[in-house]
């Protein structure tokens, strides 16, 4: 009996030590996209400000791009479930890719979802000297001359492509009412729009905001429920009669391999609760065009599940699901 009590106390002590000790070494945060991408900027903002809430252990950002985010995402799914290899999950790689391509080597649910981090408002814009002064003028032109206009995307299974095509479907237009031109990233997309290679684009606010503020681009619509403080003159999709478009917005989340230890999850819940009140992290989020959105693991799982179901349904509806 005495030996059993010693064993029990040893086990409880080891459990408590894990909670107290994690993290005892640097944490690798994998970004499945290139440097300077929205995912990369969100990861570095997290790494810069969360470490002080984790015993000042460094959070090392590692970019593992490729295959629309699948390479880095799969690497984290297959990593040891010890909390030292985590994922900066993005909407494109976490839900849109598995929702649109049945050959994706993972599912959205193959991970421990720790928290949503931020939501990135989605904006449709044209070049400042474009003839369309409103979203209605632009969509009227698309309806009147199908196939005449081009829009920029970063690939078929991306939010930048889904947005225009979803809008076309709401308007009763064919999915090729305007032609999508794919670029390698949001930077190239913005450059193409500025250069007049395409007539419009719908993308994350962060990529477009500097040019909207400088006056070289003009926003026609945002999918946020309320008007954006940065762009108070820009109407919402709801105000324009398309409330369904509110479902479309980019986001970042923090995730790890499936079955992370409870002690690791609890340590991150505590750290992220403190991060949510950190003025440095919040201010950087705003400058990057994001809205802070820390949530519990359960709330995050429910959110990501809903997003997967949304894009799976849209992919089937728009004929974008690859077999």
Would you state the pLDDT for residue 19? 46
Which residues partner with 113 through β-bridges?
255
Q: Tell me the HSE value of 260 on the side-chain side, using a 13 A CA sphere.
A: 27
Cα–Cα distance measured from residue 205 to residue 7, given in angstroms and rounded to the nearest whole number: 56
Determine how β-strand 291-292 pairs with β-strand 111-120. antiparallel
Please calculate the CA angle 65-70-75 and round it to the nearest 5 degrees. Answer: 85
Q: Both tokens of residue 187?
A: 């930077």
8 A C-beta contact, residue 53 and residue 270: yes
The pLDDT tens digits of the residues spanning 108-143 come to 999 999 999 999 999 999 999 999 999 999 999 999
Please calculate the CA angle 279-284-285 and round it to the nearest 5 degrees. Answer: 95
Q: Is the dihedral of CA 168, 174, 178, 181 positive or negative?
A: positive
Residue 289 CA, chain-centre distance (Å), reads 12
Would you state the pLDDT for residue 206? 86
Would you state the pLDDT for residue 20? 54
Cα–Cα distance measured from residue 314 to residue 52, given in angstroms and rounded to the nearest whole number: 41
Would you state the pLDDT for residue 7? 46
pTM for this one? 0.84
Determine how β-strand 200-204 pairs with β-strand 122-127. antiparallel
Say if residue 181 is exposed, middle or buried (CB neighbours under 10 Å; 0-12, 13-18, 19+): middle
The pLDDT tens digits of the residues spanning 266-277 come to 999 999 999 999
Would you state the pLDDT for residue 16? 44
Residue 111 CA, chain-centre distance (Å), reads 16
Residue ranges in the chain whose pLDDT is less than 50: 1-19
Would you state the pLDDT for residue 3? 43
8 A C-beta contact, residue 49 and residue 227: no
Task: Assign 3-class secondary structure to the chain.
Answer: CHHHHHHHHHHHHHHHHHHHHCCCCCEEEEECCCCCCHHHHHHHHHHHHHHHHCCCCCEEEEECCCHHHHHHHHHHHCCCCCCCEEEEEEHHHHHHHHHHECCCCCCCCCEEEEEEEEEECEEEEEECCCCCCCHHHHHHHHHHCCCCCEEEECCCCCHHHHHHHHHHHHCCCCCCCCEEEECCCHHHHHHHHHCCCCCEEEEEHHHHHHHHHHCCEEEEEECCCCCECCECCCCECCCCCCHHHHHCCEEEEEEEECCCCHHHHHHHHHHHHHHCCCHHHHHHHHHCCCEECCCCHHHHHHHHHHHHHHHHHHHHHHCCCEC
Would you state the pLDDT for residue 11? 43
């Amino acid at each position: 009996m005495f030996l059993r009590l010693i064993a029990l106390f040893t086990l409880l002590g080891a459990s408590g030590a894990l909670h107290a000790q994690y993290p005892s070494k640097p944490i690798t945060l994998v970004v499945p996209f290139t440097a300077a991408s929205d995912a990369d900027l969100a990861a570095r903002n997290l790494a810069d400000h969360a470490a002080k809430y984790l015993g000042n252990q460094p959070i090392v950002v590692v970019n593992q791009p490729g295959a629309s985010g699948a390479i880095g995402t799969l690497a984290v799914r297959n990593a040891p479930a010890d909390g030292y290899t985590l994922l900066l999950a993005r909407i494109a790689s976490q839900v849109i890719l598995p929702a649109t391509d049945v050959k994706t080597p993972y599912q959205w649910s193959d991970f421990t979802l720790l928290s949503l981090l931020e939501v990135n408002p989605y904006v449709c814009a044209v070049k400042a000297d474009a003839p369309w002064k409103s979203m209605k003028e632009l969509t009227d032109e698309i309806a009147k001359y199908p196939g005449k206009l081009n829009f920029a995307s970063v690939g078929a299974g991306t939010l930048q492509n889904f947005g225009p095509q979803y809008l076309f479907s709401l308007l009763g237009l064919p999915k090729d009412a305007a032609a999508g031109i794919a670029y390698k990233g949001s930077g190239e997309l913005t450059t193409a729009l500025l250069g007049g290679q395409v007539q419009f684009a719908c993308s994350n606010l962060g990529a477009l905001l500097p040019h909207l503020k400088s006056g070289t681009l003009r926003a026609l619509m945002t999918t946020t429920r309320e008007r954006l403080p940065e762009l108070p003159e820009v109407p919402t999709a709801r105000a324009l009669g398309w409330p369904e478009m509110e479902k479309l917005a980019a986001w970042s989340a923090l995730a790890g391999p499936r079955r992370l230890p409870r002690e690791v999850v609890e340590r991150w819940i505590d750290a992220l609760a403190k991060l949510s009140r950190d003025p440095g992290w919040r201010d950087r989020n705003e400058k990057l065009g994001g809205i802070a959105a820390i949530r519990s693991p359960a709330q995050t799982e429910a959110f990501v599940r809903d997003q997967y179901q949304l894009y799976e349904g849209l992919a089937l509806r728009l004929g974008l699901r690859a077999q």
